[in-house]
Structure 1
Amino acid sequence: MEFCPTCGMLAQYELPNMSQPGRFFCPQCPYVCNIEPKVKIKKKYELVTKQIDPVIENDDFKNAATTEAKCPQCGYGKAAFQQFQTRSADEPMTTFYWCMNEVCRARWRED
């Protein structure tokens, strides 16, 4: 949407005609804004991705409680766990598990 800078009226669009480019015009005053057919990009910006810190680190599970839970990868029957509130307060907590098998160390979660 384009508005007339003079009177603030909503500008109307006029299709290109013969050699004239498309344009916006004000139905109330003589304001006209021609639309250039090609847009040139003068600068290119490289987007930089921000580093994301992990929510749960390996150190978080060192002092965590353990329980009998079957690992989905290796089938080991003991896992460390921690609970976090990842959703709204009226939803149950999310439980994060870490396999206690020294070889596996798989992580999984239950919502």
Structure 2
Amino acid sequence: MLFCPYCANNLTIGDGDDTPDKCWICPTCPYKWIITQQISMRTHLSRKQVDDVLGGDEAWANVDQTDIDCPKCDDSRRAYFRQLQIRSADEPMTTFYKCVGCSWQWREN
């Protein structure tokens, strides 16, 4: 995506009035730039880590506790919980749990 250096609008591709060549044209001002070579740029984005998406350790600060059995340790009957909207808005929220005893994390099925 290229922008006009004078008015900062998006440039579109079109035919020049005085030349048969293709050129970048500003739709709001008379700026034109003749295309002489192919321009291509590619940016590879890195994937976010799961902790970045779900908030990491700070997300568990100041959350409520509830009575629920831990599926891993069977020792503790208490767990922290929080709810996130991870699907579309018309779907119910997903409840995430973290065991008070062993810090095992799971979500409600």
How does the TM-score come out when normalised to structure 1?
0.50
**Larger radius of gyration, structure 1 or 2?**
1
What residue is the counterpart of 1:87 in the other structure?
87
Deviation at 1:90, TM superposition (A): 1.3
CA distance in 2, matches of 1:81, 1:107: 10
Residue identity opposite 1:85 in structure 2: Q
Asked if residue 56 in structure 1 is aligned to residue 55 in structure 2, the reply is yes
Q: Do the aligned partners of residues 89 and 81 (structure 1) sit closer, same or farther apart at CA in structure 2, a change above 3 Å counting?
A: same
Structure showing the higher helix proportion among its residues: 2
Alignment coverage as a number of residue pairs: 62
The 5 Å alignment of 1:27-38 reads none
CA distance in 1, matches of 2:60, 2:68: 15
Q: Deviations over 1:16-72 (max 9, x none)?
A: xxxxxxxxxxxxxxxxxxxxxxxxxxxxxxxx7725242131121120010001110
Q: Deviations over 1:68-95 (max 9, x none)?
A: 0111000210000000011111111000
CA distance in 2, matches of 1:89, 1:52: 22
Asked if residue 106 in structure 1 is aligned to residue 104 in structure 2, the reply is yes
* Structure 1 consecutive aligned stretches of length 4 or more whose deviation exceeds 4 Å: none
The 5 Å alignment of 1:20-31 reads none
Identity among equivalent positions (%) equals 40
CA distance in 2, matches of 1:51, 1:92: 26
CA RMSD of aligned residues (A): 1.8
CA distance in 1, matches of 2:100, 2:45: 34
